[in-house]
Structure 1
Amino acid sequence: RPGDVFLKADQVVNCGILNEIKDSDDETALDERSIGAWNVLCEMIPGFKNRMLELSGDHSARKAICREIRAGMKKVRSDDTNLLKHGILSFMLLGAPTDQPSPALDGKTRHNHGWNHPQTARLLCPAKYDPTPENLEKLHKGELACTAFTFPRFLFPDNYVFDPEDILHLIFRGHILFRACRFIFNGPLTALLDPGSQQGESGNAAIAGLTEMTPRMIAYAAVQVRFALSLQSSWSISDGAFNYSDFFWVIVHLFGDTEDSKTHLANFNREVFGSPQGTHSPPEATPVQDEGSNDFELASRQRAKKRACHAAAAAHDVPVNEEENLLPL
């Protein structure tokens, strides 16, 4: 889930090995997308980097491992897709669960999704266009551009008003993307719950040991949302002029080293993990100011005093007043 599901695993591994073994002064251009995916695999799979480097001269062995990785990635993506294409119908509207799509949508048949439904069409509509019936019809016919490089309205808050002078204003504040991230990473039952809600230990983030949101995880969720809202019945890299792989990387690159990006990541961490820092650095407990309010500390001091009293009494053969020392050793 933290990577581009369209990249080929063997391509990623080959590029990663070249990057690891090249000389420091070698300026050979390598595919940044593959290098990024390589780094993700190395972080998530213990011993992966060393094993692949050991097999750098055995292409057939590497390819066999890559086939297993690819099969695993495909299953994960497929599971998420199948769950979300049904689940998104219950939380796509801001007022859900009270508000539901009208006309009703069925996750099994997709002929009335995408541009064929006023509410899914509105969410898919590029933010720079007003979602009027006329514009939605033009988008459906291909008379207006809708590509990976135009930002769909589901990335923005409900009733967002486009500002041509600041086209990124309020991006990544859309309710549907926050809910989809909880749905995918915490479990389907958490989509409409409070930020940070968990589905026990069965959520994908908990299972995979994910502790904070990353640009790639958010991009993955955005790709899944876009597909779930579309007319497409089967997974494909493109939907007309819209390329999902390009869309994934557009989202990733929107998270640069800026204060806005840090704010976006903090917001997604809060929505998914309940804390702006994620779960890897829980806030420190507030120090107890009033010693009298901490019974454990008081009991520990009394126990230490009692032991000292017993030790002193034993040393001098003095009887101990048990009524003053009721705490157990």
Structure 2
Amino acid sequence: MKSLTELLFPVTRSFDSLRKEGHCGPLSPQPAPKPSITVASQPANLAFAWPPSVKQNPNLPTLPALMTTENASSIPSKRATPALQMGPRKKASTSDPLISHGRHFGRTVFALCNFPSLLTNGILRLEQMEDAPLEDFSTDERREHRVFEHLLDSYPGLLERLQNGSEEELIHVGELIGKGAAGARGDDTKTLKSAVLDWISPKGAAIQPPLHRNSKIDRGFNHELTGSLLCPAGLDWKDPETRESLRSGEMSVCGDQWPIFLYTNYTYDADDPWCGLLRNRLLVSAYKHVFTSPSSVDKEPKATRSGNARLHGMNAVTIASIAYIATQVRFALSSSSVFSRTDTSTDSETFYHSLLDLLEDPEESKEVDELLTWWNRQVFPTSSAAKRPISANSALAKIRLRRLAVKQAADLNSS
């Protein structure tokens, strides 16, 4: 019996070969015996980037989980199938709707994702879930599957295309979506690098010493202003010993040590860490810059035809989009020049995941709902998502109070 670890990767094995060996059922509606699958506690390759190296079938070539320009040249040229090599007729076009969809999906649903792996794992997991409920999978696999289902729901016809297409088509679709997500991330990193300096400059004064727009070497803990914003909440940047430890690297900062700029007025309450979290004007400025247009930063956003939110029919803030913007701003303030997994000084991947861990926690739903309401008022004030308090004496308030009273009476009678 093969475990899930053995099934999910390598992707160079076609679905036809998997079916012939009895590892998964047919993807088309043809009768076939149901497979017997053991769910592994540790998946072979989760799609969320940048995944660590894993052991693969020794008889098959090693395939990096995330295709990058750095590791592409190290991949063996001979494979069982050419599925990961896009042929000329599969050449990606910047006008392909999947690329555009990937740009928005990366910003608003999940940014650091290996999309070919996400699709491959998702299709196989659908087969496995015929015999094993999603609850039997690991926490990371469940989150990955939620992202996979969100992708299917947001792009009509995608599931049918994946199920009816070849393995090469599945990988090609994933690469198109990934190209869009990576392109958007790169574009935002580039524009925010310069724009963030305008938002942190003291009113009526210039940053001293000056910070260059096209170079980040003097940012991070190397500069008084950016260092004070990146200082982990709970530490005192004004303390010379703390400041020197951060600058020298003696005190390392992990991604889950959140910087003070995430908080309102850069104020952290150790007794109530939720107070003011992710309600900073700097974050709002960056959010508007990316989603509603750079010109909307200093004024109420309008429904411009060029804004990314408008282009994709977005009228409400998402949890992942807040985490994405926070990650981008944190990187813009840092001295790092390349958004990379190997950059341990920024640890962007851990930072992004740690925010999602909090915001997706059901136990924090009350605080998260209040946070989203606050954000929608800042970015989409005319949207129905920007819920406002109901007037106490309004007809709507009385209707809801009456409905609540009726429900409570019914519950009392039934108990």
Q: TM-score, with normalisation over the residues of structure 2?
A: 0.61
1:241, CA displacement in angstroms?
Answer: 4.6
The one of 185, 206, 214 aligned to 2:318: 214
User: In the alignment, residue 231 of structure 1 is paired with which amino acid?
Assistant: S
> What is the aligned partner in structure 1 of residue 334 from structure 2?
230
Higher relative contact order structure (alpha carbons within 8 Å, sequence separation ≥ 6): 1
Give the one of 148, 152, 165 matched to 2:259. 152
Question: What is the RMSD computed on CA atoms of the aligned residues?
Answer: 2.6
TM-score by length of 1: 0.76
Work out which of the residue numbers 140, 148, 171 in structure 2 matches 1:38: 148
Match of 2:378 among 253, 256, 271: 271
Among 61, 70, 83, the residue aligned to 2:178: 70
| Letter paired with 2:254 | T
- Residue 23 of structure 1 deviates from its aligned partner by 3.1
Partner of 1:308: none
Q: Output one character per residue of 1:276-303: Cα deviation in whole Å (capped at 9) or x when no partner.
A: 7437x9999xxxxxxxxxxxxxxxxxxx
Counterpart for residue 48 of structure 1: 158
Return closer, same or farther for 1:130/1:17 CA change in 2, 3 Å cut-off: same
Instruction: Give CA deviations for 1:227-278 in whole Å, capped at 9, x if unaligned.
Output: 1111111221253254212211211122234211111111111111115743
Q: Is the 8 A contact 2:192 2:329 kept in 1?
A: yes
Residues 100, 41 of structure 1: alpha-carbon distance in 2 compared, 3 angstrom cutoff: farther
Unaligned runs of 5+ in 2: 1-106, 391-415
Instruction: Call closer, same or farther: CA 1:168–1:206 in 2, change over 3 Å.
Output: same
Moved over 6 A (4+): 281-284
Q: Extract unaligned runs of 5+ from structure 1.
A: 285-329
Per-residue deviation, 1:121: 0.9
Is the contact made by 2:292 and 2:302 (CA closer than 8 Å) also made in structure 1? yes
Give 1:43's aligned amino acid: D
Deviation at 1:46, TM superposition (A): 2.7
Matched, 1:119 2:225: yes
Match of 2:347 in 1: 243
Larger deviation: 100-109 or 60-69? Answer: 100-109
Instruction: State whether residues 182 and 272 of structure 1, in contact with CA within 8 Å, keep that contact through their aligned partners in structure 2.
Output: yes
For the Cα contact (< 8 Å) 2:331–2:346, is it kept in 1?
no
Q: Distance in 2 between matches of 1:267 and 1:143?
A: 38
Pairs within 5 Å for 1:39-188? 39-55=149-165, 58-93=166-201, 96=203, 98-132=204-238, 133-160=240-267, 162-188=268-294
1:88 counterpart letter in structure 2: V
Q: How many residues align?
A: 277
- Percent identity, aligned pairs only, is 27
1:271–1:44: structure 2 CA closer, same or farther, 3 Å change rule? same
User: Does the CA contact (< 8 Å) of 1:3 and 1:37 recur in 2?
Assistant: yes
Supply the distance in 2 between the matched residues of 1:187 and 1:15 (Cα, whole angstroms): 36
Whether contact under 8 Å (1:213, 1:268) holds in the other structure is: yes
